[in-house]
Structure 1
Amino acid sequence: MARLVSSWYKNVKNMPEEYIFPPDKKPGKFITACTENNPVIDLASLDHDPAATIQQLTKACQEFGFFQVINHGVSEIIIDDTSNVYKEFFDLPSEEKAKYLSVDPKSHCRLYTSTYNYATEEKHFWRDNLTHSCYPLEDCMQFWPEKPIRYKEIVGAYSAEVRKLVLKILDLICDVLGVEKGYFSEELSGVNLLSVNHYPPCPDPTSALGMHSHCDPNLITILHQGTIHGLQVLKDGQWIWAEPLPHAFVVILGCQMQIISNDKFKSAEHRVVTNSEEARTSLGTFVLPSPECYVEIAKSATKASNPQRYKSYRYKDFIGTYGDKSGNHKEVLSSYYLP
């Protein structure tokens, strides 16, 4: 089993060779952050100007594939407490964290470094990850870590609040897509995974990656990224920062949303870069269809000028294809094109 980066990074001054990516994959020189490239939606505006909010959301889904939400209703205290719990978790002694080490995707709670394919991948990512289910809470919490002591209490409260936000955002997307509220029902959004990425300070951020360029295979991802730069989204051939706004959530559209919208929406291609000064911990809630759920294009997304582009499929089959194609989202999507 590979050792967690968080357990040994303090002992190295130079970048280990196995973490140095080839020139064509290195992040290279970072572009200047630009808030103009960040669609930010104030959910409080729904009370006095819902039409303008939906217009903003429509543009973000069509042009960016991601947006940030503020005044979203999730308590700032809960967000801060949860972030602190995960800082404590990744600072735990190695022997305590080792209780959760696993590369088995069927494990109820798994901690690993880089990716599941650590043993076979050519280069490793500068990250550790803890993943477990977070909905329904009563079915999940028994598998969560016992330490830090308040883990279940705090993460449980956070997961419950984020689930409410998930449903609110999905109903807003229903308005944009022109389907009835509740369209993204339990079948399409009934599996929620909390995926926590921890990126320790890196000796050479220009040579390493926290995570490679990819599109999420799920429906949407709700991400709290804190106040440290790291997440970048590909927009018009250029990597732009998803500007870290205090207590905001980044909403990333996944491949399922692109397919259901018949390509009206785009799935955001994104990656994570590192920094040499501070550890960065992001909290991602991945909203997935149930494995047996059949995914198909919404009828409102098709018309004579934009006929149906994708065939329907079971979500578990899509995930199988995603794995077979090593997460290459363009190849995966093309596998489901109608002839």
Structure 2
Amino acid sequence: MITHFTYRNLVTRVVPSNEHYDWAKEVKEFDDTKSGVKGLVDAGVAKIPKFFVHPPKSLPAPSKTTLELPTIDFEGVESDGARRKEVVEEVRTAAGKWGFFRKVNHGVPLHIMEAMLEAIKRFHEQPVEDKMHLYSANSRQRVRFNSNVPQREYDSACWRDILTCVFHDDQLDLDAIPLACRKEVQEYVKCMIKLREIMAELLSEALGFSSDHLSRIECMKSEALACLYYPICPEPDKTLGTPKHSNTTFLTLLMQDTIGGLQILHDNQWVDVPPVRGALIANIGDLMQVISNDKFISVEHRVLAQPVGPRILVASFFTPSLRAGAKPFAPIKEILSDENPAIYREFLFKEYYEYYKTKGQDVTSALPHFRINE
């Protein structure tokens, strides 16, 4: 038996099945093309490279659940009346029991959402020569394009490409954003910042605080925009678009196109989260679970590889301001009591993020590592 794979430059290797597999060499050959997974698809691969193959135990069985994600209507939420109290209660319940919920009438215009999806598709589908200068795995590069090549040997890659734009303290030089999507990213981020402020107020009130509590501690003052492109996959039963994980953030806002593939783990069952036109998905992150002392939960989720595509997803990850990120985080003291002691120890945001680098795919959540041992 032999395995074929072809790169963007049309170089083909034939690897006998009994030959020693050189993981590092295959990854380097792929990475050196700077064309991402789309480059493989454009080259007409019929079989995915071996380093994209995931262990059978991590691959999904068909979802059998028909559970429906909570949907919260944000109409009238900016008033201080009865509707606001209803939404706060709905947010408290969804954040505490699901960790995910769908938002409708959230104030982000549909034309801005659809323009953003089209712009991200346009960026990823432009000629390789026009985007390869951004190809980098350096997390310090605030605007970068890459393809999630694993850093630890024999970890599995995922079938996706990513354009990332990082706004520290809501700021980023707009000239650094690719021209193919610059205008749309600028407009979309403005909407995300406005919606983040509303979410910060609602989550603060849902925890029993004044509406400005989370804003004052600046725990969501920065954002990383991950613009994901999931090409059609020739062997979707062997890989994943994104593996099982929870987010190392305070809050994530997701926008999906019409294809779907997102699943969350709820009550030990994988639940499909089908796209709804004009809706956004709110996802509670690990750090929100920490500071709420488990009043809100961060749940594991994944994205399936698909035999159709491409699929576009835009994730807005909200993280601390540069100033707040230099201070330790822990459960909010006002939440704690003799009956409700702290579940987590103090730690720096960087410490939490770095933990994943040492563990790779051996861990899907760092929360247990930071729990206080009783």
TM-score, normalised relative to structure 1: 0.91
Counterpart Cα distance in 1 of 2:149 and 2:71: 31
SS across alignment from 2:58: coil
1:304 matched residue in structure 2: 338
What is residue 18 of structure 2 aligned with on the other side? none
Matched ranges for 1:16-35 at <5 A:
16-31=49-64, 34=66
Check conservation: 1:179, 1:298, Cα contact below 8 A.
no
Q: Are 1:137 and 1:156, in contact at CA under 8 Å, matched by a contact in 2?
A: no
For 1:183, the aligned partner's letter is H
- Between the two proteins, what is the percent identity of the paired residues? 27
Q: Deviations over 1:32-86 (max 9, x none)?
A: 5x3x420111000535523322222111111111111110001111111111111
Report which structure shows greater RCO (CA 8 Å, sep ≥6): 1
Asked whether the 8 Å contact 1:217–1:322 carries over to 2, the reply is no
Match of 1:41 in 2: 72
- Whole-Å Cα distance in 2 between the matches of residues 233 and 223 of structure 1? 13
Q: Which runs of 5+ in 2 are unaligned?
A: 1-27
Q: Which residue of 2 aligns with 1:9?
A: 41
Alignment partner of 2:347 out of 302, 306, 313: 313
Note if contact 1:230-1:273 (Cα within 8 Å) is conserved in structure 2: yes
2:232 is matched with 201
Give the C-alpha shift of residue 317 in structure 1: 1.8
Query: Contact between 2:222 and 2:318, CA under 8 Å: does it hold in 1?
Result: yes
Residues 28 and 207 in structure 1, CA contact (< 8 A), matched pair in contact too: no
The equivalent of 1:164 in structure 2 is: 194
- In structure 2, the CA distance between the partners of 1:77 and 1:171, relative to structure 1 (3 Å rule), is same
- Equivalent residue of 1:123, what SS? coil
Q: 1:253 & 1:264 partners in 2: Cα distance?
A: 11
Q: Does the 8 A contact of 2:159 with 2:240 survive in 1?
A: yes
TM-score norm. by structure 2 comes to 0.83
Match of 2:311 among 269, 280, 287: 280
SS in 2 for 1:86: helix
Q: Which position in structure 1 is the counterpart of 2:21?
A: none
The CA distance in 2 between the partners of 1:122 and 1:60, in whole Å, is 33
Kept in 1: contact 2:100–2:281 (CA 8 A): yes
Gaps of 5+ in 1: none
| Aligned match of 2:207 | 177
Shift of 1:116: 5.2
Distance 1:59 1:138, change over 3 A: closer
Report if aligned partners of 1:27, 1:207 keep a CA contact under 8 Å in 2.
Answer: no
Return the alpha-carbon distance in structure 1 between the equivalents of residues 236 and 63 of structure 2. Answer: 10
Task: Select between 8-17 and 160-169 the one with higher mean Cα deviation.
Answer: 8-17
Helix, strand or coil at the partner of 1:313: coil
Aligned residues: 332
More off after superposition, 255-264 vs 313-322: 313-322
Corresponding position: 1:51 with 2:81: no
Question: What amino acid is aligned across from residue 64 of structure 1 in structure 2?
Answer: W
CA distance in 1 between partners of 2:47 and 2:301 (Å): 27
**What is the CA-CA distance between 1:137 and the residue it aligns to?**
5.6
Q: Partner residue of 1:99?
A: 133
Residues 129-176 of structure 1 show CA distances to partners (whole Å, capped at 9, x for unaligned) of 111113556533132113x1xx22221011001110011011101111
Check 1:306–1:319 CA distance in 2 against 1; reply closer, same or farther (3 A cut): same
Maintained 8 Å contact 2:170/2:221: no
